[in-house]
Structure 1
Amino acid sequence: MTDEPRLLLIVEDDPAFSRTLRRSFERRGHQVLTASSLETLQALMAEGHKPTHAVVDLKLDGSSGLACVQLLKAADARMRIVVLTGFASIATAVEAIKLGAWDYLAKPSSTDDIEAAFERGAGDAQVPVGTRPSSIKTLEWEHIHQVLVETEFNISEAARRLGMHRRTLARKLEKRRLV
């Protein structure tokens, strides 16, 4: 960890979790701004705030955190952005990294986990490649998340594209929820 203070932006729609993260980072000496939606983020950026680091929730009420990642990277290509999600999937991880996220963490993640993600450098080519093939359930889960990303997390539209009832998709999402 560096000792220099950072202007950290937290984009999280859960007020309790946002408050907890904010307090934890402030105790570590960081200046912290919070936004609860893409619109709030846009207003903060329009006011001229220039965060150096950001923590973005993937699934915001009414929008995708991926749009926030895109907006933040357009404002400052050097910004280190960590995406947090309770709905981790390969599809959303790939999209987050393509859009410029520095790292991607599944919830629950602690402040230490987020700090470590900010400090990590380039990827590690020595990470062992698994030999176990993906299960049918994992492939289904990843396909569902890919469709959710494509539909900007609109459950009704995703269910239509997947050929299943909306309530069935909602039940599947609740069963696999990580938070």
Structure 2
Amino acid sequence: MEDKRLLIVDDDEIFLNRLGRSMERKGFLTTLAGSVREGIEKAQSANADYAVVDLRLEDGSGLDVVEAVRKYSPDARIVMLTGYGNIASAVAAVKAGAVDYLAKPADVDDIINALNATGNEKPAPPENPMSADRVRWEHIQRVYELCNHNMSETARRLNMHRRTLQRIMAKRSPQ
């Protein structure tokens, strides 16, 4: 069996290790990185056939890692993962060289299908996509984070009453 070298870059250590083990069980030889800096370093030496990269990392953007993977392994198939999906970042990921863009939490089989999709072939839709309530929750959380955890500014940008936003934020995230 031909080696399938996979670089995984994510700053969530638990998720990184779990995904690495799952991909190894599926036949991949994994290299793990927990930051942009480490991802770029490992992209130089890993000679990856595939890469799975988180968009937002503690020390920067996963797009920098995508560009490094593309530079050192031009034929690598790259999938971008993110908990904060939006059209602009999806377009930026594809322009940087990613072949697909998946929202977290992504199933291992969905990631493998995206990595293995060829040419014009589109991967099958996910078995368990995020609910509309979960997508809304993720969007609110992202705007809140971008507003430096300022509730009033977040409410203004989302065009909603601050108390309504506070009630939403007080609840557990939907599944």
- TM-score, reference length from structure 2: 0.69
- Residue equivalent to 2:146: 155
Instruction: Find the aligned partners of 2:43 and 2:7 in 1 and give their Cα distance.
Output: 10
Choose from 34, 37, 48 the match for 1:36.
34
Q: Could you tell me which residue of structure 2 aligns to residue 121 of structure 1? A: 118
The amino acid that maps onto 1:34 is: L
Identical aligned residues as a percent: 35
Supply the distance in 1 between the matched residues of 2:105 and 2:61 (Cα, whole angstroms): 19
SS state of the match for residue 88, structure 1?
Answer: coil
Cα 1:6–1:168 change in 2 (3 A) is: farther
The letter of the residue matching 1:88 is: G
Q: CA RMSD in A?
A: 3.2
Aligned to 1:63: 60
What does residue 12 of structure 2 align with?
Answer: 14
> Relative to 1, partners in 2 of residues 1:124 and 1:41: Cα closer, same or farther, differing over 3 Å?
closer
Shift of 1:106: 0.7
Do the aligned residues in 1 keep the contact of 2:40 with 2:69 (CA within 8 Å)?
no
Structure 2 gaps of 5+ residues are 123-135, 158-164
Give 1:167 shift. 8.9
TM-aligned CA deviation for residue 64 of structure 1 = 0.8
Is structure 2 residue 71 aligned with structure 1 residue 80? Answer: no
Q: Deviations over 1:31-72 (max 9, x none)?
A: 1100011111232244x2211100000111121111111111
User: 2: CA distance between counterparts of 1:156 and 1:60?
Assistant: 17
2:43 and 2:68 in contact (8 A); partners too = no
State the structure with bigger RCO (CA 8 A, min sep 6), 1 or 2: 1
SS of corresponding position for 1:101: coil
Distance 1:178 1:96 in 2: 27
Q: With structure 1 as the length reference, what TM-score do the two structures score?
A: 0.68
Equivalent residue pairs, number? 145
Can you give the 5+ residue segments of structure 1 that lack an aligned partner in the other structure?
126-137, 149-153
After TM superposition, where is structure 1 displaced by more than 6 Å over at least 4 residues in a row?
166-169
